[in-house]
Amino acid sequence: MSEQTLYEKLGGEEAIAKVVDYFYSELVLKDPTVQHFFENTDMEKQRQHQTKFISFALGGPNQYSGTSMAKAHEGMNIQPEHFNAIAKHLGNALAHFGVQERDIEQALAKVASLKDDILYK
């Protein structure tokens, strides 16, 4: 029997959408160090993109059709402290929904692999 993907463990796209909603509404948009990055963002569209992206990153189907990470973050000049705050919020959102620590670490390792495409753009 093959091991479940994180996507399957978490409950698929519907469960990930709940994590993403909590991530933005309760953590990111209340954090003064990163909330300004989303001031002119269509948050419904952002949530949909992020749900599909995180679903794919965690082993789900590739339904993400947005721009590349580098292109999506162009002109934002995201610094390491911003990236780390977002990663911390994602970890906290996953923990809020009862995801095990080792699975959170695996998810954050996937996110960390994108760091070079996000920072200083």
Q: Which residues are annotated as a binding site for heme?
A: 49, 73
- Compute φ and ψ for 78, nearest 5 degrees: -70, 130
In sequence order, the β-bridge partners of residue 119 are 78
* Numbered residues of the known binding site: 49, 73
In sequence order, the β-bridge partners of residue 109 are none
Q: Are 17 and 47 in contact (CB under 8 A)?
A: yes
Decide: residue 48, CB within 10 A, 0-12 exposed, 13-18 middle, 19+ buried: middle
